[in-house]
Amino acid sequence: MPVLASHRKPRSTRPHSPAVGVTTAAIASVTLLSTQSAQAAPAPPKPTVEEIQKKVDDLYRQAGTATQEYNRAKEATDQQRRKVDRILDDVAKRTDSINESRRALGSYAAAQYRTGAVGPTAALIFADSPQSYFDQTHLMDRLSERQHSAVADYEEKRAEAAKQRAEATKSLESLTDSQATLRTSKQNVQGKLAEARTLLARLTAEEKARLAELERKRQAEARRKAEERAKAEAAAAAEAAAEAERRRQEEAAKDTPEPPATGGTSGSTYAAKAEKALAFARQQIGKPYVWGATGPSSYDCSGLTQAAWKSAGVDLPRTTWDQVEVGTRVATADLLPGDLVFFYDDISHVGLYIGGGKMIHAPKPGANVREESIYYMPIYGSVRPA
């Protein structure tokens, strides 16, 4: 019997293609992602010298603001510390007074003990609550008038001392809060100044030269404005003097006797005080700016103006924010020597006007007390403090 041929088709085999396509796609994907990442995060452009100057100026201004915050916190801390010291002194005095009252009560107890029995006075001394004991035993009715007075005095002093101790505890808590604020303000100042120093340290020699040139131009423009102001003031003074002389001659022509001296006016009084303040300020020229300093070897801006006017017998507050509220506000066009000129919208700087568009001020860290144009910084406003 012939063998029948098989009708099954031979198994077809697929060729095993290598994973070349997958590998190629993966490499392409990685390359594409790398390219996209490089395009998405380009290196930031280096700031220009002008931008650095603006940033540094802003940091110094922020440091000035933080310095005023530090000054305010330090003033509050010092006041709170003095208050705590006064309260603790009072508590100590009251404790001495309580001990005296306790000794008086002790003498009554000793007298009763010598009679052979522990009387109610002795029991009162060792009681936790004398008033409760009185309520329970009606001891008040049995005590002599003298003993009653001693016990009342003792109880009153104990209550006063307890009240003072509670006030001292509250004041100490407030002092702790003030000290924490002081530390934060100090850290803020140091942080701003460190950031400014870091920016300046990164400059190349060429950039530093460019920055110095920008500063010279800024100073020159401020001086130009001050000179214009000085000329205007001189012209106004000459005109006022001429007018005064004209009036004097008119009075002389009328043969009218001159009015008697009145002993000075408010204007001349202010001028005399201002001259004392300015004389003091001139003596400080060359001393370094140190934030938080009030003299005598260094100053910050408000520390200098405070010390200058104190030498003239006028007490100013510590911070620029409080000094601007003192005295009378005056327009820049009406400034007189001795007036306080404040700068920036946040009132973070102050100088003492000397006339001719100039002031004496403690500028910033790294600089000394000096004369400078009031137009070097944006003016906020001015005050006549006395």
Residue 368 CA to residue 1 CA, distance in Å, equals 126
Active site residues: 301, 349, 361
Closest CA to 152 of 109, 115, 121: 121
Residue 211 CA to residue 218 CA, distance in Å, equals 11
Residue 336 CA to residue 309 CA, distance in Å, equals 14
Measured CA to CA in angstroms, residue 181 lies from 36, 74, 195, 321, 348 at distances of 48, 9, 21, 17, 18
| Amino acid (1-letter code) at residue 186 | K
Residue with tokens 């049995």: 142
Please report, in angstroms and rounded to a whole number, the separation of the first and last CA atoms in the chain. Answer: 141
Residue 377 CA to residue 139 CA, distance in Å, equals 78
DSSP 8-state symbol, 259: P
Question: 106: exposed, middle or buried (C-beta count within 10 Å: 0-12, 13-18, 19+)?
Answer: middle
Measured CA to CA in angstroms, residue 222 lies from 107, 218, 358, 378 at distances of 82, 6, 10, 11
Which helix (H) or strand (E) covers residue 351, if one does?
A: strand 349-355
Contact partners, residue 219, CB within 8 Å, separation at least 6 = 373, 376
User: CA 160: distance to chain centroid?
Assistant: 36
The answer to whether 361 touches 280, Cβ cutoff 8 Å, is no
